[in-house]
Amino acid sequence: MSTETLDLMLTLDQGELDTQIALQCAPLLTRLKISNLLTVEKSHRTAAMRLFRGTSLSPYLLCDSGDKVTFLLYDKKRLPAYLAREDVRRLMERFGYSRLDLGVILRQVAERYRAHMHHKTGFPHEIGLLLGYPPADVTGFIENSGKNSLYIGYWKVYSDVARCQRVFAGYDQAREKVIRMISRGMDVRNIVKNQEEAEHE
């Protein structure tokens, strides 16, 4: 992150919902990613649910851990399309998902994630697929118990390092771009709408 962007970030109100979404979900807001996890104060729960109405993005509540809530914030068209890919679908089936219905998948993932957060089960690795991680990296992580990765960025990389490094660089640029937008007074909803319009031009 450039010094200028870091300085801008320090001027933002870290408690603001828009700032939290910008910092955690910039690659999704700029349409580089199909989804992101978003963890915010519980007091922001309703506002976060309302914020994306009428946009291409939708929040799904994964876990309420008392003072904080965690959402899967996802692109309503692109996430189902990704999950329908043959390699992704096969891996989802290995994780126990026989139906490709997004609503069913999200409910089951939320149940497994909550069980994990309450120390009852292991981490549900299918979340990596829901976040758009390459299937080879998800399986590599499982087979290596999270060790022996070739590179570490936004996730642990076990295949095609050069491609993942390009993706990570794009995510970093997206974060800088969104921080600049927020610092100029744009809100998250306008950022999403602007990115949607730019994609259709």
The answer, yes or no, to whether residue 192 has pLDDT greater than 90, is yes
In a domain, 197, yes or no: no
In a domain, 200, yes or no: no
In a domain, 36, yes or no: yes
| pLDDT tens figures, 55-95 | 999 999 999 988 999 999 999 999 999 999 999 999 999 99
Query: Into how many domains does the chain fold?
Result: 1
pLDDT band at 155 (very low <50, low <70, confident <90, very high): very high
Q: What is the DSSP secondary-structure string of 141-189?
A: HHHTTT-S-SEESSSEE-S-HHHHHHHHHHHHHHHHHHHHHHHTT--HH
What pLDDT is recorded for position 99? 83
In a domain, 96, yes or no: yes
The answer, yes or no, to whether residue 48 has pLDDT greater than 80, is yes
Between CA 12 and CA 172 the distance in angstroms is 18
In a domain, 192, yes or no: no
Domain of residue 115 covers 3-184
In a domain, 190, yes or no: no
pLDDT band at 10 (very low <50, low <70, confident <90, very high): low
What pLDDT is recorded for position 7? 62
| pLDDT tens figures, 111-127 | 999 999 888 788 999 99
